[in-house]
Chains A and B, each alone.
Chain A
């Protein structure tokens, strides 16, 4: 799966949970889910569950804790897809 496809999928997933819509305008790997998009911690769990469904992967607690930015999420998705 191409990097852009993964980033587009993450953007689509996180959009309904985003409070700060301006954060979506310059969406990049540096985008921080909590600081830039103002997703709350409960909705961050929803984002992760949606990512699991979308990519058919399982994300463990340790990976979840390291998922602060869109780039972190992309790296974890790529790693899980490669090991699947």
Chain B
């Protein structure tokens, strides 16, 4: 399976794209990695003279890899493209354990809880390069292909 076509269908771009590579995507799960560039825009203000990746950005990274990429795979239609995929985050509940500093690479692992009536809910975890748990939670979104 070529995951490139999933990445091409993502409706995000810099500076709000938080996926470098997908390692595995199947009917039940998704796994991908991202390295936070040291010059990411949010480090300037979060925090003053003490750059730490904001929790909302970690949540966004988990949602993009764990929910959106898996959702695009599940939509599975050849006709899907970034313009006709309609997305909305519907809920997130995340616990944080470790900080992520500029330049760090993280791995996101997601498992599908259910995908019904356009709603995809997943259990998502983020790990450091040393396989330490950074954060975990449940994230859900609505995903639809409007070209059908």
Chain A residues with a Cβ under 8 A of chain B: 40-46, 48-49, 61, 64
Contacts and interface: CB of A to CB of B under 8 A. Distances in A.
Do most interface residues of chain A lie in helix, strand or loop, or is the interface mixed?
Answer: helix
Do most interface residues of chain B lie in helix, strand or loop, or is the interface mixed?
Answer: strand
A40 B140 CA distance: 13
B9 interface: no
A41 B116 contact: no
Contact of B116 (A40, A43, A49): A49
A62 B142 CA distance: 18
Contacts of B47: none
Contacts of B117: 44-45, 48, 61, 64
B114 interface: yes
A40 B90 contact: yes
Contacts of B118: 45
Contacts of B90: 40-43
Residue with the highest number of chain A CB atoms closer than 10 Å, among B88, B116, B117, B118 = B117
Nearest to A44: B117
B105 to A, nearest CB: 31
A48 B114 CA distance: 13
B91 interface: yes
Contacts of B119: 42, 45-46
A65 B19 CA distance: 34
Contact of A49 (B88, B114, B141, B142): B114
A49 B142 CA distance: 15
A44 B140 CA distance: 13
Contacts of B116: 45, 48-49
A40 B91 CA distance: 11
A73 to B, nearest CB: 14
Contacts of A45: 116-119
Contacts of A43: 90
A62 to B, nearest CB: 11
A42 B140 contact: yes
